[in-house]
Amino acid sequence: MNIYTWYHAALRDLSTQGHLQLARQLKGLPSLVATGEHQQVDAVVPELLAATRAIQLPWLEVFVTHWWLQSRVSRRGEGASALFDVTNAFERAHRAEASDCPQSICTTEDLTICYANIDGPGYAAERINVADESVSRIDPSWACFQCMSQARIEALIDAGRPDAALDAFHHASRQVTAYGGTVSGYLALKLPHALLALERPDEALNVLESESMARHDRPHVELAVRRALLIALALARLGSHERARTVLPPFDEARPWVAEGHRLWIETVQALVTSGHVPDEELLAGQLDTLLQDQIAAHAPRRCAELALIVGRIAVARHARDAASSALDTAREQALGIRRPDELEPALCALAVEIDRLP
Amino acid sequence: MRGGDVEIRATDVDVSGLLTVLGAHLYSSPVVALRELVQNAHDSIVRRRIETGWNGGVIRVRCPSYGVIVIEDDGAGLTEQEIHSFLATIGRGYTRELREQTGSNELIGLFGLGFLSAFVLAREVVLETTPVSDPAERWVYRSAGGQRYTVARTSAGEVGTRVKLQLFPHHTGLADEPTLKRVLTRYCALLPMPVLVGEAADAVNAELPPWRRETMNLHPALRRRQKLEFATRIDNRFEPLATMDVVATTKVDARGMLWVNGGGSYATSDQRRVAVFVRGMLIDDDARELLPGWAGFVSGVIESNSLTPTASREDLQRDGVWKAVREHVAEQLITGLGEIAATQQEAWRRVLRRHNEALLGAALCDPRLFALLADQVTIPTTQGDLTAAAVVRGGGGSLHVAIESEDGLAATLFRALRTPVARGERFAVLPFVRRYVDAHDVRLVEIGSGSAEGALFQPAAVNPDDRGWLTGALADEGEVLITSTFKPADLPLIVLPDREAQLKQRIEADDADGRISSGALNLARQYTGTIESRPPARLHVNMASDAILAILQARHENPAGAELAARVLRGMKRMTNGVSGDPGAEDMILALDDIAAAVVGLCRSGDR
């Protein structure tokens, strides 16, 4: 069953049964997630869960839980701190009373994203396996086909197989189109993502600046920010630093998107600092520190360690020894939480050497 | 034109089709089309002021006969050539060109589409105009449908323009002066030149908005009243409770007013409505997105000359200026709420009363709001609505919150202790109290999570023999017995679920393989594999309870009596907590069986 058909029918039913407030809140939940209003998500979810349980609507309970977890793992990038809730939601969604809910499969997506946050490359093989298994169980007309295809592309990139990620994107797009569907803005952004991973920033930029990509910007504020972040990174990789600086979303706009936004923002900033395009380095240092604190709070050790390494290199470029050492400490500490801590050892050592060389 | 093998050709435009599309779809309502014509009149007056240094200007809208509206202005008028060049050329507006030449910020028009709106409303449009550049001329433009038109010279008249609309039958309702007055009062509220309806001597927009008035000498209470009256005039859905100023800065020119709506709100109710005026003309009646999502209880009026309308001029382009204005409005709203709290105590109390839930959510979205509201909003508790400080006082210095409503056993326990417990399942309560304890250095007891147990139960030693007996007599399968002391001492035992252990059990159960696909299940088991294997519930037996102490003593002196008494306790446990902390229908049967057996046993022991 199409998720949206079910969802709209369920809201209509609730309204006709007199649960107007509940229907209204359920309707607003996905947009709170997509606009980054996470505090409001945290505020409303307990009440929605209590209500859906009280009137015994397990399918809507799955819906609420999924969007809560989308806010936490997909947007705020939570890792280990969300594992209990993600696993619990996954198990509840597979009980008899909820397993036919069209959104049940989305809890599998939440589970894979959570592991991607904890250690993307470390769990890449398992994530690819889960995505393959899920995609094979549904037809491309389902919205979750596109979500699981995104999860698959991300896992392939994390596995160091960007070629396969690019193929996976084209395969998924063809299938969606063949079933009469439209490729969503979220899936469409995986193409430039894969192209950047393949070190083809010129092609990524062409895609990102195309009209077909720009049309997703509104009403999806989130997609507009993500696209701008990717454009800035592509420009930075192409050496167009001045344009990259202009396009790069301001810190406050990038900050809510912990899972993906922080990495894109920090990588672009690294190129801008190296090329002398950041006018206020003191301000930047504070911003980078804030982002690292967000990452630590998200309990996502792999991403946090990798970003701390970049922040350390930025500090080295600024000859800021204390900041570089502090970032290195963070990276070392976080590396202990990943599946194979030794994987990051060469990068940790390299940063330590660079810090030692500072005057 | 050809360039090598490439042929460049011009696109053909079907004017009739274009007019139909624009006429039918450009504007969402006929009222907007009327606004465009008033705006043309305004721009014509501004043009005359710019070009001649004149400082007059009046717009009058009348309904001289059935189904007819006339819009008159004493602006610059048009020459015959200007009629052909601007009035009859879609997409080319004199206003835009004049703005580009002079840099004037007063001119409103931009797209050269405004005059088209006449054909949205009218089956015939007659425009008479005398240009200020040649007052001896007067031209009459006449068109039905807009595609073809005639221009003829007529006898000279006053400088200015008169547009006569013979309305389509379905729009004739608009040709009614009270209706026009109502509509134009709203649309032209901030237009800086008089707009009159019918033969009235007073302009519908005579009253300046509060932020344009000189009010320094007015008593603050009178100023507040003027602002409240203005708010009611703009949005009469609710009685406004208090207003806040939006003041322009050197970076953002947006100014105006916000106000707290008087209608009660609940949690995520969205009563936001913001009227946005650009160069004095109402563009967007419902620009709610300019307010933060948490401000569902706020409305306002904003004027800015930097915002750019879309082509239909009913919406605003979401560009950098729009973002800056949105940020500016949010900042001033936060400041404004603080000022109301500090200076208008009665109004502030009403704001808190009407919008408590919404403010609870708002407090989570900005640290300044949290600081303002933390001790003022109330949270729902087992003892009614209380401030967080009162919940802490009632909890003996700790703030108790139940994570889920189903934690009935904990609620029972705390009711017995007369301790208020915040209801974590209600809107915003859980994140609010978490933030509150962080800010106030208070201990948080989250009932329903394992972490609360350390705060509630103190381990109590007991000899292994007694522990074994208690386990046999009181524990069900899936429960591990823990001897503790806890309050109230009258409560002999309580079962708490171990959610992690429960999850591990379900994910690692054999039947999970049958209902969950293997790859995902394996990933889920990566997590449950890190959880220690243990029973899914903890049975805390209260060693401070006289009942428990008496049973332990009786098991040596009166073993049969101890067994019966233990069955009563086990029955009570099963009735209130279920087996393994997960009450079900069968638990009630088991509980009744225990209690009945104990009663029978006690009665028979009396016989003996």
Query: Model confidence over B199-255: pLDDT tens digits?
Result: 999 999 888 888 888 766 778 888 889 899 989 888 878 889 999 999 999 999 999
| In-domain check, residue A144 | no
Query: Among the three residues A242, A257, A278, which one is the final residue of a domain in this structure?
Result: A278
pLDDT of residue B99: 66
Same domain (yes/no): A274, A285 = no
Average pLDDT for A238-251: 94
C-alpha distances out from residue B588 to B409, B491, B496, B566, B597, Å: 15, 19, 17, 17, 14
CB A146 within 8 A of CB A104: no
Q: Write out chain A residues lying below 8 Å of B424, CB-based.
A: 46
CB contact at 8 A, B569 and B468: no
Which chain B residue is nearest to residue A90, measuring alpha carbons? Answer: B524
Same domain, A113 and A6: yes
User: Using CB atoms, which residue from A28, A87, A133 is nearest to B524?
Assistant: A87
pLDDT score, position B194: 94
User: From the candidates B517, B528, B530, which should be mutated to test the interface with A, based on the most A CB atoms within 10 A?
Assistant: B517
What pLDDT score does B116 carry?
Answer: 76
- B502-523, pLDDT tens digit by residue? 899 999 988 888 888 888 999 9
What does the pLDDT read at residue B2?
A: 43
Kindly determine whether residue B430 and residue A42, on different chains, have CB atoms separated by under 8 Å.
yes
Say if A153 falls within a structural domain: no
Cβ proximity of B110 and B309 under 8 Å: yes
Chain B residues closer than 8 Å to A42 by CB = 364, 428, 430-431
Q: How far apart are CA A322 and CA A273, in angstroms?
A: 17
Give the span between the Cα atoms of A169 and A150, in whole angstroms.
8
In which region does residue B468 sit, left (phi positive, over 0), alpha (psi from -120 to 50) or beta (all else)?
Answer: alpha
Specify if A33 maps to a domain: no
Mean pLDDT over A258-285 rounds to 89
Q: Tell me the shortest Cα–Cα distance from B365 to chain A, in angstroms.
A: 6
Answer yes or no: is A177 within a domain. Answer: no
For the segment A85-110, the average pLDDT, to the nearest whole number, is: 87
Residue B409: predicted pLDDT: 61
Residue B3: the pLDDT is 44
pLDDT at B139 over 50: yes
Indicate if A284 and A273 belong to the same structural domain. Answer: no
Give dist(CA B467, CA B461) in Å, integer: 9
- Residue B43: pLDDT band (50, 70, 90) is confident
Helix (H) / strand (E) containing B219: none
The total number of structural domains that make up chain A = 3
Q: For residues B266-274, give the mean pLDDT.
A: 79
Last residue of a domain, one of A278, A303, A330: A278
* Residue A127 confidence (pLDDT) above 90: yes
- In a shared domain, residues A1 and A82: yes
Cα separation, B124 vs B146, in Å, equals: 8
Residue B442: predicted pLDDT:
93
Is pLDDT at B588 greater than 60 in this prediction? yes
Cβ-in-10-Å burial (0-12, 13-18, 19+) of B510 comes to exposed
Rounded Cα gap, residues B407 and B497, in angstroms: 10
Radius of gyration of chain B (CA): 38
Closest to A183 (Cα-Cα) out of A209, A145, A219: A145
Residues A288 and A336 in one domain: yes
Instruction: Specify whether A261 is located in the same domain as A299.
Output: no
pLDDT for B203 equals 93
A179/B100: higher pLDDT: A179
Per the model's pLDDT, the better-predicted residue between B549 and B97 turns out to be B549
pLDDT tens-digit readout, B383-403: 999 999 999 999 989 999 988
Closest CA to A243 of A191, A289, A197, A208: A208
For residues A220 and A286, membership in a common domain is answered with: no
Average pLDDT of the residues of chain B: 85
For the cut 60, the answer to whether the pLDDT of residue B4 exceeds it is: no
Continuous H helices in B247-366: 320-343, 345-354, 356-363
Q: How much is the pLDDT for B496?
A: 82
- Are residues A233 and A287 both part of a single domain? no
Query: pTM here?
Result: 0.79
pLDDT score of B94 more than 80:
no
Total number of residues shown for chain B: 608
Quote the longest CA-to-CA distance of chain B.
129
**What DSSP string describes A61-93?**
HHHHHHHHHIIIIIIS---GGGHHHHHHHHHHH
- Report DSSP state, residue A115: H
Which of A243, A263, A278 terminates a domain? The answer is: A278
A73 and A4 together in one domain: yes
Asked whether residue A49 falls in the same domain as residue A78, the answer is yes
Shortest CB distance from A126 goes to which of B364, B427, B522? B522
Tell me the mean pLDDT in the region A217-240.
89
Asked if residue A304 and residue A272 are part of one domain, the reply reads no
Contact B558, B524 (CB under 8 A): no
Domain that holds residue A220: 212-278
The DSSP-derived string for B90-154 is TT--HHHHHHHHH--SS----SS-GGGHHHHHEEEEEEEEE-TT-TT--EEEEESSSSSEEEEE-
CB atoms within 10 A of CB B84: 14
Higher pLDDT, B582 or B599: B599
Domain presence at residue A340: yes
pLDDT band at B5 (very low <50, low <70, confident <90, very high): low
* Residue A196 falls inside a structural domain: no
Question: B606 is written with which tokens?
Answer: 């009396």
Asked if the model's pLDDT at residue A220 lies above 80, the reply is: no
A346 and A295 in a single domain? The answer is: yes
Confidence at residue B162, expressed as pLDDT on a 0 to 100 scale: 95
Write down the ipTM of this complex: 0.88
What number is the average pLDDT over the span A279-296?
90
Give the residue numbers in A contacting B (CB under 8 Å), as ranges.
Answer: 21, 24-25, 28, 32, 35, 37, 39-40, 42-44, 46-47, 49-50, 53-54, 83-84, 87-88, 90-91, 94-96, 99, 108, 111-112, 115, 123, 126-127, 129-130, 132-134, 137, 218
Determine the pLDDT at residue B1. Answer: 43
Per-residue pLDDT band for A197 (boundaries 50, 70, 90) equals very high
- Higher pLDDT: B189 or B433? It is B433
Which of the residue ranges B111-120, B430-439, B556-565 would you say has the lowest mean pLDDT? B111-120
Q: How much is the mean pLDDT over chain A?
A: 91
- Is pLDDT above 90 for A232? yes
Which of A44, A99, A111 lies nearest to residue B427, judging by beta carbons? Answer: A44
Residue A193 is which amino acid? H
| Mean local confidence (pLDDT), A274-279 | 84
In a domain, A169, yes or no: no
In a domain, A272, yes or no: yes
